[in-house]
Amino acid sequence: MSQPPVSPATAPLARDTVRSLRASRIREVANAGIGLPDVLPFWFGESDQVTPAFIRDAASQALASGATFYTHNLGIPPLRAALAGYVSRLHGDTPVGNVAVTSAGVNALMLAAQLVTGPGDRVVAVTPLWPNLVEIPRILGATVETVTLDYGPHGWALDVDKLLAALTPGTRAVMINSPNNPTGWVMPRAAQQAVFDHCQRHGIWIIADEVYERLYYGPEGSIAPSFLDIAPRDARVIAVNSFSKAWLMTGWRLGWMVLPAALMDDLGKLVEYNTSCAPSFVQEAGVAAVTEGEAFTQDLVLRLRGARDHLVGALSALPGVDAHAPEGAMYVFFKLAGATDSLALCKQLVREAHLGLAPGSAFGDEGEGFVRWCYACDVERLDEGVRRLSAFLKTGA
């Protein structure tokens, strides 16, 4: 039986805004490697180590004791209290009423955007940037303009005046990720202060993605400058954070946000309609991470610092590579001579050298010519990756 023609109005398609979103180019490269044996994956932002045992044990115990029910939209009281204590210790007094638990950082970003942006709003984002921060406001119908970090002899830097000029009155929000994925750039305190003052004057929301705040290579034991250090808790600042990076909990999907208490009731409604709550036994594990995980995190940062220095040294010895040691996060974002199409290059690298890297263009047009390498693994694996890259470059492929 012949089917009636499908009219554009009734075609079973997602709405235009969704169809126009850019698919992840990191995924595209990873898909090109599926089924290949022995691929060394440095493309995603996660460690090759499992979550520490004391956190996994806490989740097992919570499951065994029946933590299988819905929880409060904003999180279980012990976790909110533990997070309020943790954030207060790092950034100054932060009452429980300013803290909400989320289903990881990406959900916190979506909730933050849903709280303060909508169709037609103008949002500014500092790039290169992990693509979710740019695409999330677009899903909601906002227009996103980008302000690019500048690449120079010392790596990536922000021209603060350029950003302030882009934050025109009427701009709804600015998305800033520091320490930054992919560049490792860390926003200096003075720049944060200038942007904060400007945004307060013009009523612009700051959505600060600080999921890498603990992965910072300043003086030992220090953490990256945070907007929470300078902003009163009732200012227009929403800080987003995650358990994924500091406690190696990527697969658990647990995060949090710090925001003005006046937004909490509305946030509760949004959580209800997005996820209703984070999984209860995962939240119990989160309490263990926050209250018992400090030594683990400090040791992790030490190991990452060693891996960073090792990888930058090894890459810098290769011809055509321009690599700088990042100040934060866990990626070396290096320039590769001749990599004019980083997506094609990374697909070729995975197919021919079995080396999995993320193309710079995945993080915005200004990332073209660069390649991102996650170094959260042991140095033997990094060495084998560099050996494969070196052999690939030598064959002139």
Residues 331-390 that bind ligand PLP (CB under 6 A): none
Q: How far apart are CA 75 and CA 73, in angstroms?
A: 6
DSSP run (H or E) holding 163: helix 160-166
CB of 360 to ligand PLP, least distance (A): 15
The smaller minimum CB distance to ligand PLP, of residues 98 and 241, is found at 241
Q: Which of 375, 285, 273, 396 is nearest to 332 (CA)?
A: 375
Q: How far apart are CA 49 and CA 55, in angstroms?
A: 13
The smaller minimum CB distance to ligand PLP, of residues 130 and 205, is found at 130
Residues 135-194 that bind ligand PLP (CB under 6 A): 177, 181
Strands lying side by side in the sheet with 173-177: 99-102, 255-258, 237-242, 205-209, 173-177, 122-127, 143-148
Tell me the window of 100-108, 289-297, 344-352, 379-387 that interacts with ligand PLP (CB under 6 A). Answer: 100-108
What separation in angstroms does the CA of 202 have from each of 112, 174, 263? Answer: 19, 12, 19
CB of 75 to ligand PLP, least distance (A): 15
DSSP three-state, residue 321:
strand
Q: Which of 42, 43, 130, 151 binds ligand PLP (CB under 6 A)?
A: 130
The smaller minimum CB distance to ligand PLP, of residues 136 and 343, is found at 136
Q: Which of 52, 105, 286, 356 binds ligand PLP (CB under 6 A)?
A: 105
The smaller minimum CB distance to ligand PLP, of residues 51 and 181, is found at 181
The smaller minimum CB distance to ligand PLP, of residues 113 and 353, is found at 113
- Residue linked to tokens 């001749």: 338
The smaller minimum CB distance to ligand PLP, of residues 83 and 314, is found at 83
Q: How far apart are CA 292 and CA 298, in angstroms?
A: 12
Tell me the window of 60-68, 99-107, 120-128, 197-205 that interacts with ligand PLP (CB under 6 A). Answer: 99-107
Contact 354, 336 (CB under 8 A): no
Q: How far apart are CA 146 and CA 175, in angstroms?
A: 10
The smaller minimum CB distance to ligand PLP, of residues 105 and 360, is found at 105
CB of 139 to ligand PLP, least distance (A): 15
The smaller minimum CB distance to ligand PLP, of residues 75 and 353, is found at 75
Q: Exposed, middle or buried: residue 283 (CB in 10 Å: 0-12, 13-18, 19+)?
A: buried
The smaller minimum CB distance to ligand PLP, of residues 121 and 209, is found at 209
Tell me the window of 4-12, 79-87, 103-111, 338-346 that interacts with ligand PLP (CB under 6 A). Answer: 103-111
CB of 115 to ligand PLP, least distance (A): 17
Q: How many residues does the chain have?
A: 397
213's tokens: 């705040």
The single-letter DSSP state of residue 127 is E
Tell me the window of 93-101, 104-112, 189-197, 372-380 that interacts with ligand PLP (CB under 6 A). Answer: 104-112
Q: Which of 62, 76, 106, 353 binds ligand PLP (CB under 6 A)?
A: 106
Residues 198-257 that bind ligand PLP (CB under 6 A): 209, 211, 242, 244, 250, 255
The smaller minimum CB distance to ligand PLP, of residues 354 and 361, is found at 361
Residues 45-64 that bind ligand PLP (CB under 6 A): 45
Q: Tell me the sheet residues that pair with 241.
A: 256
Contact 384, 42 (CB under 8 A): no
Q: How far apart are CA 14 and CA 23, in angstroms?
A: 14
Q: How far apart are CA 378 and CA 356, in angstroms?
A: 16
Tell me the window of 29-37, 98-106, 191-199, 284-292 that interacts with ligand PLP (CB under 6 A). Answer: 98-106
Q: Exposed, middle or buried: residue 318 (CB in 10 Å: 0-12, 13-18, 19+)?
A: middle
**Site residues for ligand PLP per CB under 6 A:** 45, 104-106, 130, 177, 181, 209, 211, 242, 244, 250, 255
